[in-house]
Structure 1
Amino acid sequence: MAASVGMFWGVENASRTAQAQSLSGDIPKVSELANPASTDLSDIKSFKSNQPQRYQLNSKSTSTSDSLSQVTSVSELRDVQPTEWAYEALKSLVERYGCIVGYPDRTFRGNRALSRWEFAAGLNACMNVMERLLQENVTVLGEDIDKLKTLAQQFEQELAQLGARVDNLETRTAYLEDHQFSTTTKLSGQTFIYLSGAGSGGNIRAEGANVFTPFNPARNPDDNIPISRVITDQPGITMSYLSWINFETSFTGKDNLTVQLAVGNGDAPANQFLSAGFYNSTGTPFPLQTGADTGNKVVIRDLFYSFPAADNLQLVVGPRVNLYRYFDGNRFTYFINGPESFNSSGSTQFATVDRGSGAVADWKINDAFRFTAAYVGASNEFLPQAFSTANDPKFGWFGGSWTAIAQLSIAATDNLNLRFLYARSRMEPDPFNGFVGGAIGEPLPYGFADDGFGGTLRHAFADTYLFNMDWLVTEGFGLFGRYSYGSTSLTPTDAARSGGTVNSQAVQVGFALPDLGKEGAQANVSYLIPMSVTSGREFLVAGGGDGGVQSEIEVNYYYPINNNIAIVPSFYLIMKPNNFTSNGPIYVGNLRTQFSF
C-alpha cells in the first residue's frame, strides 16, 4: 500500500499521467473549442439542436450592443438571484476560473427555466475550463470539485437537455479528482527477512589470506604463488534483514525525484568460505548483502531525478544513480520473483560501478527498439567512503572509478527480448591493499589482481561485452540466459613492470515456470559460471584458484501469499568454489519472507 501526500489529490507517478491521457479521450476537450469564451450563451443551440424551441435563446439577430463579452463575476449578471446557493457556487467558480460569458447588459436573457439551463451551460463551461487548467498543471481546489458534484445533482434535468448527461459529468468529475496534479510524494517500501545457512562437504581452500594485511606478502616469495588458507569451520544459521524505504516525488506529473533509504544487517553464511574479493557474491542472496559499510546503519541507496527531455527520451541525473534500474534487466531473473542470488539475478561482469554519481539517457526509438546510455562515477552506499571517488576532490567525477555504458534492447516479439550491452570502466585500486578487484572490480568480478609479483597497481581499464535474453515460450514456461566477456588491463605502480591483461567470461542459462501453483508465483532454475579466466591468471593474487572453474546451480520458488507478503525458499549448490578443483561443494539454503507496502 502506498501513501500519497499532497494538497488535495495527486498523481502518484508518471504512469498515471499516461492513464489520464488515455482516459481523457472519452472526455470533451477544451481544445475542441476555439477558446474558453466559445462556451458563451449564444452557442447553446450547438449543445442540443433538437430541443424544443422553448429551451433555446432568442435567435433573432442582435446589434453590436448585444454581442458577447467576457465578464468576471456572476454578480454582474442581473437576473441571477444572489440569494441562491447555486449563485454563490457559480460565482466562486467564475471568479476563480473565468468560465462564464454573458451579454454586455449583464443579463442571461431568459425566463426561469432558461436561467437554470444557462446555469447548467455555465457548469459545463466551467468543467471544460477547469479541465484545461489541469492539463496545464494549474491546481484546481478540492472544494470546487465538491461544488461541481452538487451542482451536477441539482441541475440534472437541464444538463440532460443540454446533452451533457449526468453520468458523463460524473465521469468527468472523477477524471478531475483522479488526474488533477499537485506536488505529490509516494511512500513505498520493501522489507526482506532471511533465515539462512551454509555448509560444505569438507575443508575449503581460499586465497587472499594476507590481501588486507599490508605488512605481510600476498604471494609466497619463493614461488610467487598466492598465499591461501584452509577453512575447516562451518558457519551457523543466521537471521538477518534488509529494508528499503522509497520516496517518489513528482512536481509536474511527468518527472520523478527518487530517494531510497536502506538499512540492514546481512552477512551471508557462505561468506565464511570465500576467497578475498568474493565477499557478498557467491552464495549470497541479493537482498542479504550488507546494507551499508556497517550493520544497522541507515544510508541513502538511490538519489536521482528523472524527467522527459522529449516524447520518447527520458533523462536521469543524480549523485546516486542505480544502473540496475536501466541495464541488464530480464523478465525472469529480477531477484524479487526470480533467481535471488547476487550471481544469478544479474550479470557478474555487468559494470565496475553499478551505483554512482552520473546520468542516464533512455531513448525509446519505437515499440521494438530502445537505446540506453549512462556515465557514473563511483559512489556506493555499502562501501567505506574511501571507495567513493566521484565526490572526492582528489579524484573527481572523471578521475577515479567510473563506468560508461550503453545498451540496445530489442523486443523481437511480445515474448522474446534481446539486449546487447557494452561498458568501458576505469578502476582505482582498493584503498586498503592497492589491488584491483572485489566489490568494484567488474568485469573481474571475484578476487584481486596485482602486478603479477605482489606489487600494487596505479589503476586499470576494462571493457565488457554482454548479451542477455529472455523468452516466454508458453504461458507457463520461459527461458533466460546471459553471456559476457571482459578484458581488464592492469597498470602497475612500479613503472619498471609492464603489467598485463586478465580476460574472463561468464555464462548463465535457466528456465522459469510462471504462475506455478498460483497466479503470480514463479519457480526458477539457474545454472551459471560466474567467472572463467581465459588468460592472465598469473595476475590474480586471489580468485584464480588452482585452475578450476566455479559453477553454481540455484533453485528457488517465489510464492505470494497476498499482494504484500511473499515467501521464497531457495537452495544453491556451488561446485569447485573459489575456482579450486580440489574444493568440495558448498550448500546454501535460505528462507526469505518479504513485505511490500
Structure 2
Amino acid sequence: MKLFQQLLVAPAALGLLAPLAVDANRSANAAELNINGVSDYAASSLGSSLEQVTSISQFSDVYPTDWAYQALSNLIERYGCVAGYPNGTYRGNRAMTRYEAAALLNACLDRITEVTDELKRLMKEFEKELAILKGRVDGLEARVGELEATQFSTTTKMSGKADFVIGATSYGGDKTDDLYATDEDGKRTGYLGDDALSFSYRYTLNLNTSFTGKDLLYTRLRTGNFNANAFSGKGYTGKQSQLETSKSSADILKVDKLWYEFPVGNFRVYAGPKIENYYMLGASPSVYRHILKQFKLGGYYGAYGASTSPGFGVNWISDRYANYGDAKLKLSANYVSKNGANSNAREGGFMTDNGKGKFLSQIAYGNTQWQVAAAYAYSQRGMTVGGAGTPLGASTKNYEEANQVNLNAYWRPQDNGWIPSISVGWSLSSFNLPKETIKGEFNGTRTEAQGWLVGLNWKDAFMKGNRLGFAAGSPQFVTAIKGEVTKKDGTKTKYPDDGNMAFELYYDFQVTDNVTITPAVFYLSRPFGQKTGSSAETGGLGADQFNTFGGLVQTTFKF
C-alpha cells in the first residue's frame, strides 16, 4: 500500500481497532459469531442494496453525548467509509468481529482508490504549478537552513537606532551679571553669546531575549558624543534644553539598561540592576511624542524623573489579555536605589537610609484612545527629583526627602485629521530640608515647586506617515521658599518670584520605513527662573528677562 493510502487508512483503522483493544478481555469465538449479521454488515459496507452512510444522524443509537461522537462524525463526513447495520443502528458498544473489521476496511480501501484516481488527475493537470512550488519550497528550506546555521541567537532579537543631530542655540534678553563671561580678575570680558553649530550622534542597540515567549530580558547598549554641547543637559541652560536623543559617553558603548520581566497572571514583575521607575509602569501617562526631554511622560521632572539604578517593581492590569480597546484599571508600584550597587551601608546600599532611593506608584484607567492617571513618588536625599537645575535651591543635596504628585491625562481621535491628540500633565513637589539645617543657611531654598505641560500631536499631518508636534509648559517653577531672600535694594521677601516657560515645534518627515528626518525649534523663556536677575530700576526679583532659542535637524535610522 502506498504511503498516501496508508495515511488515509490510518484514522479509520485506528477507529476500528479501538473497540477491539477496549474489549480485548472479551474473546469472540466461533460460537458467538452471527454470520447473518456479518453478511448484512458486509453488504452495507460494500454498498450493495443498502446505501453508504453519509451522515451520522442516520444512526438511531448514536447521540451527541457519546464520547466517540465527533470521531465517528469525522470518519463519515471526511472519509465516507463507515456503515451501519440494516436496521439503522451502529451498535457502538458492541465488540467488533474480525469479519466486520475486514468488511469495513474493504469499503475504506475502495473509497481510497477513488480519491487516489482523482488526485492523479489533478496532479497531471497542475503538473507545472506543482513543479514551481516544489522549487520554491526547496529554496526556502535552503534559506532556513542557512539562517539556522548563522543566526545570532535562538532566543534574542536585536534592533538598533542611530540618531544624528545638527543644530545650535542663541540667547537673548537682558544681559545680567550671571550671563557675562569674566576674566581671572572678575572683570567682564563680554556676553557669553550664542552656541556654535554642533553635530552629534546617539547610537542604540536593543537586545530582547525571551526564554518562554512571555518573559523578557532587556538589554540596551548605547553611546553618544553630545558631552557638553547645548543639547546634552550639561550646556549653558542645563537640562532645560536637553534633547531626548542626547547621550554623553565619549563614544564608549556601554550597557545603558538591563532588567528582566515576567508575567504572573494579570501581574508583570520587574527586577534589574539598571532600570528607571517609569519603565515598570503598567501605563504611560502621556502619548505626546517629544523633542525636549523635559516634556517626556507629560512632565518628566515631577514624580516620573529618576536615575538609572538597581530596582524592582510590579504592575497589574485588569483583564490584561482581553481586547485592547476596552478600558482597564492599571496599578503600578516600583522602587530604585541610586546607590543600590554599593555594599557599604554607611554610603549606600539597596533599600537603606543612604541608598538615594525612589518609590513610585501610579493608578491609571483608560484604553489606547483615552486615559487618566495619578502618580505619587517619595524620594530620599540625593535622588533626582527636579530637572531644571536653575530655580532657587535646585540642587538635590539641599533636601532630606521629597514627596511628589502628578496628574496626567490624554485623548486622541479615532481618525487622523486636523484634530490632534492631546496630552496634559501637572505636578506638585514638596521638599523637606535637613533637620540639622543651620539657621539661615538654606534661606531662599525651594520647599515647593510645580510644573505643567500641554502637548499636541497631529498624526499623518500633510502626508501619511508624518507627524506634527507642538508643546508648551513649565518644567518646574518654585512656589514656596525657606526664610527670606534679599533683593538688590536691600529689602527682603518671603515669596518666590520664579517662573519659566518652554515651547517646542517639530515635524517628523518619514522618508522611508526606516529613516525619519525631524526639523525642530524650541524657545525657553527665563530658563534660569528667579536667578535670571533683578532690575536696577525696581530692585525687584526676577524682573530681568533672558531667553534661549534653539533649532536643529534630527535624522533617525532604524534597523
Describe the superposition over 1:322-357 as per-residue Cα deviations: whole angstroms up to 9, x where unpaired.
Answer: 333344735542xxxx22101122322234534322
Alignment correspondent of 2:553:
591
- Is 1:510–2:455 an aligned residue pair? yes
CA distance in structure 2 between the aligned counterparts of 1:365 and 1:450, rounded to whole angstroms: 42
1:174-213 maps to which residues of 2 (within 5 A)? 184-201=155-172, 203=175, 206=178
Describe the superposition over 1:522-555 as per-residue Cα deviations: whole angstroms up to 9, x where unpaired.
Answer: 11111111111011166999xx999341211111
Code of the aligned partner of 1:486: S
Aligned with residue 385 of structure 2, among 427, 438, 442: 442
Going from structure 1 to structure 2, the CA distance change for 1:273 and 1:524 (only over 3 Å counts) comes to closer
- Deviation, structure 1 residue 448: 8.2
3-state secondary structure, aligned to 2:269: strand
Going from structure 1 to structure 2, the CA distance change for 1:392 and 1:550 (only over 3 Å counts) comes to same
3-state secondary structure, aligned to 1:577: coil
Code of the aligned partner of 1:245: L
Alignment correspondent of 1:531:
476
Alignment correspondent of 2:464:
519
CA contact (8 A) 2:303 2:385 kept: yes
- Is 1:297–2:297 an aligned residue pair? no
Describe the superposition over 1:274-331 as per-residue Cα deviations: whole angstroms up to 9, x where unpaired.
Answer: 898x63x2112111142xxx31122222211111111x22111111223333447355
- Deviation, structure 1 residue 414: 6.0
Alignment correspondent of 1:314:
268
Alignment correspondent of 2:427:
484
Alignment correspondent of 1:396:
349
Q: TM-score, normalised by structure 1?
A: 0.59
Answer 1 or 2: higher relative contact order, Cα 8 Å, separation at least 6.
Answer: 1
Code of the aligned partner of 2:76: S
3-state secondary structure, aligned to 1:357: strand
3-state secondary structure, aligned to 1:49: helix
Describe the superposition over 1:78-128 as per-residue Cα deviations: whole angstroms up to 9, x where unpaired.
Answer: xxxxxxxxxxxxxxxxxxxxxxxxx9xx9998359549969x9xxxxxxxx
Alignment correspondent of 2:311:
358
Alignment correspondent of 1:418:
372
Alignment correspondent of 2:295:
344
Describe the superposition over 1:451-504 as per-residue Cα deviations: whole angstroms up to 9, x where unpaired.
Answer: 99xx975x6211111011112256322222111000111216667789786100
- Deviation, structure 1 residue 507: 1.2
Alignment correspondent of 1:286:
244
Alignment correspondent of 2:400:
460
Going from structure 1 to structure 2, the CA distance change for 1:331 and 1:456 (only over 3 Å counts) comes to closer
CA contact (8 A) 1:410 1:418 kept: yes
Alignment correspondent of 2:510:
560
Alignment correspondent of 2:105:
110
CA distance in structure 2 between the aligned counterparts of 1:449 and 1:39, rounded to whole angstroms: 88
1:222-241 maps to which residues of 2 (within 5 A)? 232-241=192-201
CA contact (8 A) 2:387 2:475 kept: no
| Identity level (%) | 18
Alignment correspondent of 2:10:
none
CA contact (8 A) 1:490 1:501 kept: no
CA contact (8 A) 2:285 2:372 kept: no
CA distance in structure 2 between the aligned counterparts of 1:558 and 1:275, rounded to whole angstroms: 25
CA contact (8 A) 2:363 2:375 kept: yes
3-state secondary structure, aligned to 1:419: strand
CA contact (8 A) 2:392 2:478 kept: no
Going from structure 1 to structure 2, the CA distance change for 1:241 and 1:498 (only over 3 Å counts) comes to closer
CA distance in structure 2 between the aligned counterparts of 1:199 and 1:564, rounded to whole angstroms: 32
3-state secondary structure, aligned to 2:165: strand
- Deviation, structure 1 residue 557: 0.9
CA distance in structure 1 between the aligned counterparts of 2:211 and 2:496, rounded to whole angstroms: 57
- Deviation, structure 1 residue 505: 0.2
Going from structure 1 to structure 2, the CA distance change for 1:204 and 1:248 (only over 3 Å counts) comes to farther
Larger radius of gyration: 2
CA distance in structure 2 between the aligned counterparts of 1:475 and 1:449, rounded to whole angstroms: 43
Aligned with residue 416 of structure 2, among 446, 461, 475: 475
CA contact (8 A) 1:550 1:578 kept: yes
CA contact (8 A) 1:263 1:295 kept: yes
Q: TM-score, normalised by structure 2?
A: 0.63
CA distance in structure 2 between the aligned counterparts of 1:267 and 1:116, rounded to whole angstroms: 79
Going from structure 1 to structure 2, the CA distance change for 1:498 and 1:240 (only over 3 Å counts) comes to closer
Aligned length: 413
3-state secondary structure, aligned to 1:519: coil
CA distance in structure 2 between the aligned counterparts of 1:441 and 1:545, rounded to whole angstroms: 25
CA contact (8 A) 1:444 1:504 kept: no
CA distance in structure 2 between the aligned counterparts of 1:377 and 1:268, rounded to whole angstroms: 27
Going from structure 1 to structure 2, the CA distance change for 1:117 and 1:418 (only over 3 Å counts) comes to farther
Describe the superposition over 1:213-249 as per-residue Cα deviations: whole angstroms up to 9, x where unpaired.
Answer: xxxxxxxxxxxxxxx9985142211111111111111
| TM-align CA RMSD | 4.5
Going from structure 1 to structure 2, the CA distance change for 1:266 and 1:480 (only over 3 Å counts) comes to same
Code of the aligned partner of 2:267: L
Describe the superposition over 1:131-165 as per-residue Cα deviations: whole angstroms up to 9, x where unpaired.
Answer: xxxxxxxxxxxxxxxxxxxxxx99x99xxxxxxxx
Code of the aligned partner of 1:522: R
3-state secondary structure, aligned to 1:251: coil
CA distance in structure 2 between the aligned counterparts of 1:565 and 1:232, rounded to whole angstroms: 36
CA distance in structure 2 between the aligned counterparts of 1:38 and 1:321, rounded to whole angstroms: 58
CA distance in structure 1 between the aligned counterparts of 2:232 and 2:246, rounded to whole angstroms: 14
- Deviation, structure 1 residue 423: 0.7
Describe the superposition over 1:392-441 as per-residue Cα deviations: whole angstroms up to 9, x where unpaired.
Answer: 01211112111111111121x7632211111111123xxxxxxxxxxx43
CA distance in structure 2 between the aligned counterparts of 1:108 and 1:263, rounded to whole angstroms: 77
3-state secondary structure, aligned to 2:294: helix
Alignment correspondent of 2:328:
369
- Deviation, structure 1 residue 57: 7.5
- Deviation, structure 1 residue 569: 0.8
- Deviation, structure 1 residue 267: 3.6
